[in-house]
Structures are given as structure tokens and as C-alpha cells.
Structure 1
Amino acid sequence: MTKSETTLSKLRAGSNSTQECKELMSYLPKDRNFFTEHLYQYQGFWYPPNLLEGVLYSQKHFHARDSDIILVSSPKSGTTWLKALAFALVQRQEFQNPLESHPLLHNNPHSLVPFIEAFNFHTQKDTFPRIFSTHIPLGSLPESVQDSSCKIVYCCRNPKDAFVSLWHFMKRLVLKEMVGCTMEEMVRGFCRGSSVYGPFWDHALEYWKESLENPERVFFVMYEEMREKPEEWVMKIAEFLGCSFTEREVEDGVLEDIVNLCSLENLSKLEVNEKGKLVNGMETKAFFRKGEIGGWKDTLTPLLAEEIDKATEEKLLGSAFRFFC
């Protein structure tokens, strides 16, 4: 079996789905997708079989605590960076000295902050607070999360950059079986909402509205604003999570050290992120590219960019929400 076939089989994972998941998929709406035979619509959003099963599993078995921290994003919207920052700032008292021994220097952020729909949330160490991540839409979060007082940090990214990042992510995984998949076809699927955890806009709008109604529970941050002023936004996230930086910490460079340690430029150069693999076999280098604001211009044609802009305009009609341009 080739490298691409191995990776693809792990992403699909449809043949090993539980009987419950198979029965559910038999009557759910489905649509063609670029890397799996079908996506299935569940509770208004689209999933390949393995992720659908992960969502179902988390809804039944994930037990949130009031002290938990849940990091949320759409795929390729700053997830890896947010995980690193949250882990470093929450655990800074334990790991700040010496910096050379920090877990992030030897572990990919996805290994330190597990996805609750990836079946491995049980491996999270019983620390205080526990930190998890997810791409699950607000309305599909496990009831234990919705009923708890745990804190949620949502990172949102411009849809064109998020789309292009996802495109390159899949290409870097060497998915040669993306049969018949062109950039144009993938854009069309994205725009009609048929993408992994899509519709992209509904995903963001749900959490944005919740952040307005329950600001003590949900903190909404723009990826682009964090990239432009990382220290300012890391301080805001720390305050939201109840672990604000002291004046002494700022003066001593603790905040600056965390921002530098977790920068995409630094993380991408670490051996663990250049040559490492996650437990599912995915190469860690696939999670790092440029992370630039407006990087979509190097990939999307003007016509494809216009298609995404039109979809964005339609989706946000009547809403005060706007993506960072």
C-alpha cells in the first residue's frame, strides 16, 4: 500500500465504522467530496464517515468539566497555532523555566491538545485545567460541554485563506486518489457548504453569535488579528481563561517568550514538526505552511476568489459579522 493510500484510508475509515454509524449514514443526506466517496450531513453540517463517527462518539462519551478549556475552529483556521498558544499560556508556571525543556519543543501541539472527536481524548492528562480542541459546530457539541461552564475559544479565519490552506493541506498529504478533483470543483463544494465540517460560514456565525450572547463563556478571535498583534491577543485570551499575565510577567518577558515559542515560524522549524508523525500516521509537517494573511492570492484565480466572496456575501446577509479581509 502506498503512502497516499495509507493516509487516505485513515481519513476515510468508512469500512470500520460502527454499525450504528453505518445505519445512520444510510438515511442521511450525502454529497460527493474530493477525498472521500461521500460526505454525510448530520445536524446541518457535513462529515466523512470517520469524523461523523468521532462526533457521535464524543456526543456519547465526552464528559466535560466546568474547568475545561475547549479550543474551536473550522479546519485550517489557525488550529495548530491556537493549541500551542493556549497550552503554553495555561501551563506557563510549570514549564517556563528552562525554556529549553518545554513540551512544545518536543511534541506537536496536536499531541498535547487532543481533539474530542478523535477518540483519543481519554489520553489527556488529568491536569487542571484540561485543554481540548474540536472542529465540531456549536449545536453538535456534546451535551456535557453545552451544560457545563467550560470556556470556549473560537478562532476564525478569512474563508479564502482557510480554503486555500485546506487545499494545500490535502495536497501535502499526497492524496493522489483525489480523482477528478480540480480546484474549481473543490471551490464549488466549499461554496455550497459541502466541505468537511461545513458550511464554513454557518460554523463561524454560530460561535460568533454565542460569543455575543454569552461573552463569559465563548471568546471569539480573528486569526488575522492575532497574527498582526499576537501579544495583545494572547493577553486577552489569558484574561478570558482566568490566568491573566501579571505586570511582572510581562516585564520579565514571559509573554514575549510564549509568543516566540509558539510562533508558526518557530514551530515549523522544530524537528518534531519537520520529521514527526502523529499516532494516526499523519506527518506533522503537513500542519505547517505559510500561515500568511491574504496568502490565497497565490493560489486562487480572480474568478474562484469571486465565487467564494459571493458565497460569503450571501451567507452573511442580514448579519453584522464580517470576516477580516
Structure 2
Amino acid sequence: MSNVLINFHSTNTTSMAITQFNEVVAEEEKLSHECKQLLLSLPKEKGWRTPHLYLYQNFWCQPTEIQAIMSFQKHFQAKESDIVLASIPKSGTTWLKALAFAIVNRKPSAISKNHPLESSNPHDLVPFFEYKLYANDQLPDLSTMTEPRLFGTHVPFASLPNSIVKSNCRIVYICRNPFDTFVSIWHFLNKIKPRSSPSVSLEEAFEMYCNGVIGFGPFWTHMLGYWKESIEKPDKVLFLKYEDMKGDLSFQLKKLAKFLGSPFSVEEERKGVIEKIAKLCSFESMKQLEVNKSGKSIKNFENKNLFRKAEVGDWVNYFSPLMVDKLSKLMEEKLGGSGLSFRVFH
């Protein structure tokens, strides 16, 4: 009888877990024959959210993402006016999408009521190549998109399609202190993982992170790819740091607007347009919007999980002295000599 009672009381939880597990399995069963064959030849490691991550073109990725990226690489044709917003996950992606959309699409009347960002999640307004446009083995019709077209991606620079790399389209890259990025990723992935999967402990996740086994990682390879390109081609790639934007957003917005070909006029500055965009796209404003409290703009991930703290230095609440030492040494080893560095905020 006790077994029956236990089963009865856990029916809902078990049912949800089975449903989520089946969704993952169903997704992978839909992979093309080409992708399934490719996976057989790729190195793999235990995943954070899915059973495995695969090493594709020197970065770690999930099977469904690999298929979408293959299609993106093969079919996407960039236009000279395109804007690509790139990042490694959980480093300010949603914020950058909101800011860039608001800058490029602002009207002479400045920021008015009923702005698209008040009714649409930034990921719907600036779609991901790998999660939206080329997901599920589809070939999107992008001909009707308003120009300049804005896109998002987590794909490393070395794996972007030739049409992006060789065209004059612009790329904006945002990165974040690896200490805070790790904590944000750990929280996010434990929220969105299937209920049937055990949570990844902080310690286990940290080891995987330091080994580079993280979606679209290693993080140092991802950062350096865009960093080096921004040094060599500053008119092509703008490299932003999350911490700099939190420190002086007005200055960073002016730089971003100029790079995007939509500089703020003296009149706009006088009218406070920069401050209005900053407020519209702030963490506090976006988190309060109903569209960001519900719905799913990226695959099956709930929008509410995209907004946690958005703080600089929150890592101090999670890192042990040994973890601080290990990640600090790793960053010095991997980033040292590149000119790319991060202040560790205590």
C-alpha cells in the first residue's frame, strides 16, 4: 500500500520528468542522418543539461545545436547592413539585444510608449541563428526582415559563415568576467535542465568549466576569437565588456550607437534619449514586464529564467579560496599576453 501511495503522490512530478526527458530524446531523434553520422566521429563529454556535449569545430555543443549551426553555416547569406550580436551564454546577451534593438530602431520622437520591447522579449526581436532561425532543420525566409537586420549567436568567431566574416556586416561581441559568467551559467542550467536529470553540483560544474566543457566553450577560446578580430578589424567587430557597461552605460551606448551607424545627435543627447534607452532596457524594467515573466522565446526555456540578478561580483558568494586561485591562474594562462583582462571585483 505504501508503494501505491508514494507512486500516487509523485505522479505529477514523475510525469513532468518523463515528458521533459522524452522531449530531449524526441529532439535528438529528429536529427538528420548527416548530423547523426557526424556525432559518431566527435569527442564527447558529460553535458550539464543534456546527456552529452560534443566537440564540434573545437567548441562544445549539444546535438541539436550542431545541426542548426551546420545549416546556418551552409545557408546564411549576410547583407552588408546586417548586425550580428555575439556572446558566450550568460554574459549579457539579453541586455545587449535590447540595447542594440532600441538604438537601431529609435524614431525621431525618441522613446515613446508602447515600445516593442515592452511587449516582446529581446530574443524574439533579435533572433538567434542556432536557437530560432535554423533550429529544427528549417531554412528561414529572411527576405522580409527590416534592415538593418539584427541577429544573435553564441557561435565562436572561427565558426561563423564565410558570408559574415567576408562581408562588411558588423559584429558586436559582449563578454563578462568569467567568475560571474560561471555562477550565472550554473544557476541557469540547473533551472532549465529536465527534472529527470540530477542537479549539477557547484564543484562538478566548476571542474567542467575550467576544463572548457561548457556550451560554446572553452570560454577563453570564445573570447579570444572575437577579441583578436576586434583588434585587427575594429570597424568590423566591437568588443564590449559587461562590467564596463555597468560602470558607465551612457559612454558605452554612445560607442555602440556610433559603431552601429546610428550615432546619437546633440539634440538627442540634450533630450535625454540615451538615458531613456538605458532605463527602457534596464534589468529592473525588463524583469517587471509581463512578456518576460512568462512565455518561451528561446526553444523551451522560460523567459523568467533569463533574469536573475545582473550583478557584478556576485561570484564572491559562491567561490571558495581554492576556486578563486584555480580560475585566476587559468585565466592568466589562457588570456595572458593577449591584452584581454578582467578586474576581479570583491
Normalization by structure 1: what TM-score?
A: 0.94
Residues 7/226 of structure 1: CA separation in 2 closer, same or farther (3 Å cut): farther
Query: Are residue 83 (structure 1) and residue 97 (structure 2) matched?
Result: yes
Q: Counterpart amino acid of 1:217?
A: K
Query: Secondary structure of the equivalent of 2:173?
Result: strand
For residue 154 of structure 1, give the secondary structure of its aligned residue in structure 2: strand
Deviation at 1:283, TM superposition (A): 1.1
Please tell me whether the aligned partners of residues 115 and 132 of structure 1 are also in contact (alpha carbons under 8 angstroms).
yes
Q: 2:303 aligns with which of 284, 288, 291?
A: 284
Cα deviation 1:199-236 (Å, max 9, x = unaligned): 00110011111000000000001000001111110110
- Cα displacement string for residues 134-183 of structure 1 (whole angstroms, at most 9, x for unaligned residues): 00001100111112110000001000111110111122226433437321
1:93 CA drift (Å): 1.4
Give me the whole-angstrom Cα distance separating, in 2, the residues matched to 1:252 and 1:318.
43
* Of 31-40 and 303-312, the range deviating more from structure 2: 303-312
Amino acid at match of 2:44: K
The residue number in structure 1 matching 2:8 is none
User: After alignment, is 82-91 or 141-150 more displaced?
Assistant: 141-150
Q: Secondary structure at the match of 2:246?
A: helix
1:19 equivalent in structure 2? 33
Q: Which amino acid aligns with 2:29?
A: S
1:226 maps to 2:231 = no
Classify 1:156/1:324 alpha carbon distance in 2 versus 1 (closer, same or farther; 3 Å). Answer: farther
Q: Deviations over 1:30-82 (max 9, x none)?
A: 11122211111111111011111111110012111110000000000000000
Q: Does 1:56 align with 2:75?
A: no
Q: 1:263 — aligned with what?
A: 282
Q: 2:86 aligns with which of 62, 66, 72?
A: 72
Runs of 4+ with >4 A deviation = 1-12
Equivalences for residues 88-237 of structure 1 within 5 A:
88-93=102-107, 96=110, 99-120=112-133, 122=140, 126-173=145-192, 175-179=194-198, 181-237=200-256
Cα deviation digits, residues 12-47 of structure 1 (max 9, x gap): 732221111111111011111222111111111110
Structure 2, unpaired ranges of 5+:
1-13, 135-139
Structure 1 residue 265 displacement after superposition: 1.2
Q: Indicate how the Cα distance of structure 1 residues 75 and 123 shifts in structure 2: closer, same or farther if over 3 A, else same.
A: farther
- TM-score norm. by structure 2 comes to 0.88
Cα displacement (A) at 1:184: 1.1
Aligned residues between the structures: 324
Which protein has the larger Cα radius of gyration, Structure 1 or Structure 2?
Answer: 2
Secondary structure at the aligned position of 1:133 is classed as strand
CA distance in 2, matches of 1:90, 1:191: 37
Identify if the C-alpha distance between structure 1 residues 9 and 163 changes in structure 2 by more than 3 Å, giving closer, same or farther: farther
Shift of 1:300: 2.6
